[in-house]
Amino acid sequence: TGFAEFPDGFLFPDDFLLGAATASYQIEGGWDADGKGDNIWDTLTHERPQYVDDHSSGDVADDSYHLYLEDVKLLKAMGAQWYRFSISWARILPEGHDNYVNQPGIDYYNNLINCLLDNGIEPMVTMYHWDLPQRLQDLGGWPNWVLATYSENYARVLFKNFGDRVKLWQTFNEPQTFMDGYCSDTGMAPSINAPGIGDYLTAHTVILAHANIYRLYEREFKQQQQGKVGIALNIQWCEPETSDDVDACDRYYQFNFGIFAHPILSEEGDYPSVENERVDNNSAQEGYTTSRLPKFTQEEVTFRKGTLDFMGHNFYTAVRGREGVRGGSPSRSRDSGMIRFLDPKWPGSASSWLRVVPWGFRNTLNRIAKEYGNPPVLVTENGFSDYGGLNDTYRVLYYTEHLKEMLKAIHEDGVNVIGYTAWSLVDNFEWLRGYTEKFGVYEVDFNDPSRPRTPKESAKVLTEIFKTRRIPDRFLD
Nearer to ligand PNW, 221 or 310 (CB): 310
E-strand ranges in 11-152 read 17-21, 82-86, 122-128
Q: Assess contact for 359 and 149: CB atoms under 8 A.
A: no
Least spacing, CB of residue 343 vs ligand PNW, in Å:
14
Least spacing, CB of residue 42 vs ligand PNW, in Å:
16
Q: Where are the alpha helices (H) located in 119-183, listed in sequence order?
A: 134-137, 147-162, 175-178
Least spacing, CB of residue 433 vs ligand PNW, in Å:
8
What residues contact residue 28 under an 8 Å CB cut-off, 6+ apart? 58, 61, 62, 63, 64, 65, 88, 91
Q: Is 308 exposed, middle or buried (0-12, 13-18, 19+ CB in 10 A)?
A: buried
Nearer to ligand PNW, 106 or 444 (CB): 444
User: Which one from 70, 122, 152, 174 is the annotated catalytic residue?
Assistant: 174
Least spacing, CB of residue 136 vs ligand PNW, in Å:
20
Catalytic residue at 174? yes
Rounded to whole angstroms, the Cα distance separating 250 from 6 reads 33
Least spacing, CB of residue 129 vs ligand PNW, in Å:
6
Q: Assess contact for 463 and 404: CB atoms under 8 A.
A: no
Residues contributing to the site for ligand PNW (CB under 6 A): 23, 26, 173-174, 177, 234, 236, 314, 316-317, 353, 381, 423, 430, 439
What three-state secondary structure class fits 305?
coil
Least spacing, CB of residue 318 vs ligand PNW, in Å:
9
Nearer to ligand PNW, 161 or 173 (CB): 173
Task: Evaluate the CA torsion angle 402, 456, 169, 134 in order and state its sign.
Answer: positive
User: Which one from 381, 405, 430, 437 is the annotated catalytic residue?
Assistant: 381
Nearer to ligand PNW, 137 or 421 (CB): 421
E-strand ranges in 52-118 read 82-86
Least spacing, CB of residue 376 vs ligand PNW, in Å:
20
Rounded to whole angstroms, the Cα distance separating 374 from 204 reads 25
Q: Assess contact for 315 and 382: CB atoms under 8 A.
A: yes
Query: What phi and psi values does residue 460 have, to the nearest 5 degrees?
Result: -65, -40
What residues contact residue 167 under an 8 Å CB cut-off, 6+ apart? 122, 225, 226, 227, 228
Q: Is 11 exposed, middle or buried (0-12, 13-18, 19+ CB in 10 A)?
A: middle
Nearest Cα to 48, choosing from 224, 191, 200, 194? 191
Instruction: Report the phi/psi class of residue 439: left, alpha or beta, with left for phi > 0 and alpha for psi in -120 to 50.
Output: alpha
What three-state secondary structure class fits 18?
strand
Least spacing, CB of residue 236 vs ligand PNW, in Å:
5
Task: Evaluate the CA torsion angle 39, 42, 47, 53 in order and state its sign.
Answer: positive
Q: Assess contact for 158 and 87: CB atoms under 8 A.
A: yes
Nearer to ligand PNW, 173 or 191 (CB): 173
* Residue in the shown chain whose Cβ atom is closest to ligand PNW: 353
* Residues with catalytic function: 174, 381
